[in-house]
């Protein structure tokens, strides 16, 4: 064997084609046998066969002295409806193989590995005729054009613009007709800017760091990147800083769900850049998610005028009370609140759903702040209204402008069992509210439980924060001193 050649293989040699096949060999078994056979490397296999975790794959390859020489798109290229899926696969595959240890480059090798292999697959009619060109059905003109458009979309943007398969050559071709600054995105490797002449090596441009996060959803990654880039550029930042902002915004987009809602606020972005990555799945970084939530609020409630009529037990105990009479009274209360509000912001009502359902429905969308209580009146330890369900699934039916309001009778001197019970309920309720994109208000009344001083509410607040409960709103008994505030 010539020393100027590395012989490699591919998982398809082990029968790996359709990742849905439950009988495929484990990917680590394939690596073991490839190493024992003396191969120098492998192609990645079809999307979904090997994990996309850079650390896991890199360690497995290093242990066996192997390298990944190419990634593979092995999917339906002819259907335009599959294009978004293919572009997601491309981003994730390239994001992995470009971060793995590089395969050896031999003298005379024009293009350094890794490569991306693109193959059409997934059409029964054509698959059955594979190898028999005289029998294989042909794509019509429209399907052929769709496939070519998909392949072009998979290619790097500069390769399309410049007309070359080499990125540097494509950049130079664009530079010949434009003096604009050119920015080349490189996935997890960050991005590089070329305000002037194009060098021989991409790394010689002005670079900004990439962020090695988990790719969860590629929708909106480009828009996130350009938003960060424009922020830095319009603020007059240098290119490394501008690209850092751009790469970070793109990282947020791909590691969360929902495209635009995933983009960070300026406060959140600054926190992330200062603190760094704690966990690669940013959407599960509790500290980061709290900052994201709290700095992207839809309304400004700095000044509040609130008329509370969410009382239940007190009204039930009144002589002659009935559900119908209480409901009518709450509708009257809403009419008064709306008249005082007069369309202005900064006005709100707490109203329950058990007796005040009609008032709640009428208030939705009115511009009022609306707090809806969920605790069973007077319960200690905290118990939730049965209508919400054991899993608090009833919150899924609530309008977005409702605030989940819970009253908890607790005290710093409560025993461990009481604190554990109440914290468990509040934590579940808080998480359910967040899951349904609802704000959460926690009211605590320690004076009903035991003696209090100026720091009693502060101690309770710290206890809930330590448990990971961050209410959007607190309702507290009056503080007795400036020190408590």
Tens digit of each residue's pLDDT (9 = 90 or more) over 104-150: 888 777 677 888 888 887 777 766 666 666 677 777 888 877 887 88
Q: Are residues 89 and 130 in the same domain?
A: yes
- Mean per-residue pLDDT, 76-83: 86
- pLDDT score of 466: 95
b (16+ CB within 10 A) / e for 66-78: bbbbbbbbbbbbb
- pLDDT score of 348: 96
236 CB neighbour count, 10 Å cutoff: 8
In a domain, 131, yes or no: yes
Alpha helices in 280-354 (DSSP H): 286-294, 313-316, 323-341
**pLDDT reading at 169 higher than 80:** yes
In a domain, 109, yes or no: yes
- Which comes out higher in pLDDT, residue 228 or 3? 228
In a domain, 236, yes or no: yes
Q: Are residues 232 and 327 in the same domain?
A: no
Q: Are residues 392 and 463 in the same domain?
A: yes
Q: Are residues 58 and 95 in the same domain?
A: yes
Range of the domain at 433: 305-475
- pLDDT score of 1: 38
Q: Are residues 283 and 313 in the same domain?
A: no
Q: For the chain, percent helix, then strand, then coil, each to nearest 5?
A: 45, 10, 45
In a domain, 165, yes or no: no
Q: What is the pLDDT of residues 358-383, one digit of tens each?
A: 999 999 989 999 999 999 999 999 99
In a domain, 185, yes or no: no
Question: Residue 17 to residues 14, 23, 45, 467: CA-CA distances in angstroms?
Answer: 9, 11, 8, 47
Q: What is the pLDDT of residues 8-39, one digit of tens each?
A: 888 988 888 888 888 899 999 999 999 998 99
How many domains are there within the chain? 3
Q: Are residues 309 and 390 in the same domain?
A: yes
Mean per-residue pLDDT over the chain, rounded: 88
Residues 6+ apart with CB under 8 A from 289: 283
Return the closest-CA partner of residue 438 out of 374, 375, 354, 344: 374
Q: Are 430 and 392 in contact (CB under 8 A)?
A: no
d(CA 339, CA 344): 10
Phi, psi of 35 (to 5 degrees): -65, -45
Q: Are 189 and 98 in contact (CB under 8 A)?
A: yes
Kindly report the CATH number assigned to the domain that includes residue 72.
3.20.20.150
In a domain, 326, yes or no: yes
Kindly report the CATH number assigned to the domain that includes residue 383.
3.20.20.70
* pTM exceeds 0.85, yes or no: no
- pLDDT score of 316: 92
């Amino acid at each position: 064997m010539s020393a100027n050649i590395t012989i490699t293989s591919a998982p398809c040699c082990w029968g790996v084609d359709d990742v849905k096949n439950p009988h495929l060999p484990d990917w680590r078994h394939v690596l073991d046998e490839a190493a024992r056979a003396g191969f120098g490397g492998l192609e990645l296999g079809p999307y979904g066969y090997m994990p996309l975790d850079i650390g896991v794959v890199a360690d497995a390859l290093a242990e066996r002295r192997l390298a990944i020489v190419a990634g593979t798109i092995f999917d339906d290229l002819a259907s335009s409806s599959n294009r978004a899926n293919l572009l997601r696969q491309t981003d994730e595959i390239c994001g992995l193989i470009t971060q793995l240890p590089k395969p050896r480059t031999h003298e005379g090798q024009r293009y350094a590995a890794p490569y991306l292999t693109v193959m059409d697959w997934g059409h029964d009619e054509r698959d059955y005729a594979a190898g028999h060109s005289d029998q294989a059905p042909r794509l019509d003109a429209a399907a052929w054009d769709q496939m070519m458009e998909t392949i072009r979309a998979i290619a790097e943007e500069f390769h399309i613009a410049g007309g070359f398969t080499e990125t540097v050559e494509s950049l130079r071709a664009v530079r010949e007709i434009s003096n604009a600054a050119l920015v080349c995105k490189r996935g997890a490797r960050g991005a590089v800017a070329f305000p002037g002449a194009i060098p021989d090596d991409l790394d010689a441009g002005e670079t900004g760091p990439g962020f090695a996060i988990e790719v969860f959803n590629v929708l909106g990654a480009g828009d996130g990147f350009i938003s960060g880039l424009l922020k830095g550029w319009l603020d007059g930042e240098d290119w490394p800083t501008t690209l850092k902002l751009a790469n970070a915004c793109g990282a947020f987009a791909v590691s969360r769900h929902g495209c635009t809602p995933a983009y960070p606020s300026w406060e959140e972005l600054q926190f992330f850049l200062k603190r760094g990555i704690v966990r690669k799945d940013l959407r599960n970084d509790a500290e980061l998610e709290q900052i994201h939530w709290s700095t992207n609020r839809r309304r400004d409630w700095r000044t509040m005028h609130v008329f509370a009529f969410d009382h239940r037990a007190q009204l039930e105990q009144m002589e002659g009370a009935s559900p119908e009479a209480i409901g009518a009274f709450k509708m009257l209360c809403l009419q008064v609140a709306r008249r005082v509000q007069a369309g202005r912001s900064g006005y709100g009502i707490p109203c329950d759903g058990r007796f005040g359902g009609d008032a709640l429905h009428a208030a939705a969308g009115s511009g009022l702040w609306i707090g809806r209580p969920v605790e069973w009146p007077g319960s200690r330890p905290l118990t939730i209204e049965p209508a919400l369900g054991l899993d608090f699934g009833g919150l899924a039916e609530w309008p977005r402008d409702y605030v989940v309001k819970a009253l908890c009778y607790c005290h710093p001197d409560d025993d461990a069992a009481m604190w554990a019970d109440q914290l468990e309920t509040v934590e579940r309720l808080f998480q359910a509210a967040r899951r349904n994109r609802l704000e959460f208000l926690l009211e605590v009344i320690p004076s009903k439980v035991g003696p209090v001083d100026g720091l009693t509410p502060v101690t309770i607040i710290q206890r809930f924060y330590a448990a990971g409960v961050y209410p959007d709103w607190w309702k507290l008994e009056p503080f007795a001193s400036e020190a408590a505030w």
